[in-house]
Amino acid sequence: KIAGFIESVTVDFGGGISKEFLAGLALLAVGAALIFLPRKKAAAPAAPAARKGGVGTRSEISDDSIRVNCPEWIVLDTETTGLSPFEDRIIEVAAVRYKNGQPLDQFVSLVNPGVPLDPESTSLTGITDRELKKAPAFAEIAPKVRDFIGELPVVAHNAVFDVDFLITECARAGVKIDIKYINTVRMAKWCLPPQPDYKLATLIEAFGLSDHAQEHRALSDVEACENLYMLCRSKKAGKV
Q: Which of 216, 217, 224, 227 is catalytic?
A: 216
Q: Which strands make up the sheet holding 102-110, listed edge to edge?
A: 56-60, 177-183, 154-156, 72-80, 90-99, 102-110
What region, left, alpha or beta, does residue 18 occupy, with left being phi > 0 and alpha being psi -120 to 50 degrees? Answer: beta
SS3 for 181?
A: strand
Q: Is 212 a catalytic residue?
A: no
> Which residue type, as a one-letter code, is found at position 124?
L
Residue 6: other Cβ atoms inside 10 A: 15
Per DSSP, helices labelled H in 137-217 are: 138-149, 159-172, 184-191, 200-206
Maximum alpha-carbon separation in the chain: 95
Those residues whose C-beta lies under 8 Å from the C-beta of residue 31, and which sit 6 or more positions away, are: none
Closest Cα partner for 79 from 124, 15, 130?
124
Cα–Cα distance for residue pair 224/184, rounded to 1 Å: 11
Cα–Cα distance for residue pair 226/184, rounded to 1 Å: 9
| Cα 188 from chain centre | 19
Q: Could you give the residue numbers annotated as active site? A: 216
